[in-house]
Amino acid sequence: MSRVNVDFSALIDPRFVRLGRALAELEGVSLPRRMLRSLGLGAMIKIWAHATNAESFVIEPAVADDLLDIDGASNALVTAQLASITRNNNLKLAGGERLLWLKSARENGRKGGRPKKNSGNPPSNPPSNPPSNPPPKGPLTDSGNIPTPVPAPAPAPAQVGVSPSETPSLKLVRPNEAEVIAARSIALLNQLLETSYRAKAKKTIEAVNARLAEKYEWPDFEAVIRDRVRLWKDDPKMSAYLRPLTLFGPKFGDYRGAVRKPKQLPPSHRTERWSKPGEA
């Protein structure tokens, strides 16, 4: 994940308050104003970090919803004027050009500054063979050799906006079962929606594996898929969220809990088959 630097001006920018308020309303919670700015700024740091890593500040609305784990978060970004809608109905993030400039400056700094222009003079020919006796790496010797300093390793770049618990783990808890359930789930979803999602997509298998780690099984996946398709398929707004990353994401438990159990008729109302005359 790329490092993201946030200017001091972000602490007084009212757009982050508006973003925090819109996200809180989507989640159905009420927060004091001082917490709305922190919520909006933290959400935008996640968006910026993803865009910096992808080296593109035009993202799909569904990506923004998945990054913030809130359905409709992309609309909140536009409402807060922290993103605009492109001709292709994607999101162009505010502040993208400056973050790219900062990333370029950091990379040039690691290389010793801006690339130097060629002076036009051909470089001197290096020796064809290395010296037979390189200077020792240690204290001064009797012959006056000066040791070559060994540079210290560079510190690892800090990750801003992503806590250790949010860092995805690529180790599958139950790899074979995750692939099998992912294949069955995607086949069922494609059948019900007439889509062409890929069962071997890396993020899909990781999402399924995360739910298996929470002790969910194949019947839970089947129940969630059929129930969400029943509720969202004919809804112009919600049908866009009938995709694997949304269905199998962190809200999977909520979707599973919302599945209605089939009603069972009491014994007095059950249909019984009467024997015809002449039947045993």
Domain-located, residue 168: no
pLDDT of residue 217: 94
Domain-located, residue 47: yes
Domain-located, residue 127: no
Domain-located, residue 105: no
CA-wise closest residue to 255 among 272, 268, 243: 243
∠ CA 118-121-126, rounded to 5°: 100
Are 40 and 48 in contact, with CB atoms under 8 Å apart?
no
Q: Which DSSP category does 280 fall into?
A: -
Tens of pLDDT, residues 97-147: 666 666 676 677 766 656 565 555 555 555 545 555 555 555 544 455 545
For residue 92, what are the contacts with CB-CB under 8 A and spacing of at least 6? 57, 58, 83, 84, 85, 86
Rg (CA), the chain: 29
Domain-located, residue 40: yes
CA distance 229 to 238: 10
pLDDT band for 165, please (50, 70, 90 cuts): very low
Structure tokens at 45: 């740091």
Please identify, among 71, 97, 123, the residue that sits at the C-terminal boundary of a domain.
97
CA distance 13 to 18: 10
Report CA 56 to chain centroid distance, whole Å: 14
In DSSP terms, 7 is beta-bridged to none
Domain-located, residue 262: no
pLDDT of residue 172: 53
Question: Helix or strand or coil: residue 205?
Answer: helix
| 163, pLDDT greater than 60 | no
Highest mean pLDDT among 1-10, 62-71, 170-179: 62-71
Residue located via tokens 């210290």: 152
Q: Specify the higher pLDDT residue, 264 or 67.
A: 67
Q: Report the pLDDT averaged over residues 266-271.
A: 55
Q: Tell me what the pLDDT averaged over the chain comes to.
A: 76
pLDDT of residue 241: 93
Domain-located, residue 278: no
| 36, pLDDT greater than 50 | yes
Domain that holds residue 209: 175-257
Q: Specify the higher pLDDT residue, 45 or 116.
A: 45
pLDDT of residue 267: 58
Q: Specify the higher pLDDT residue, 65 or 109.
A: 65
| 168, pLDDT greater than 50 | no
Domain count of the chain? 2
Domain-located, residue 184: yes
Burial class (CB in 10 A: 0-12, 13-18, 19+), 68: buried
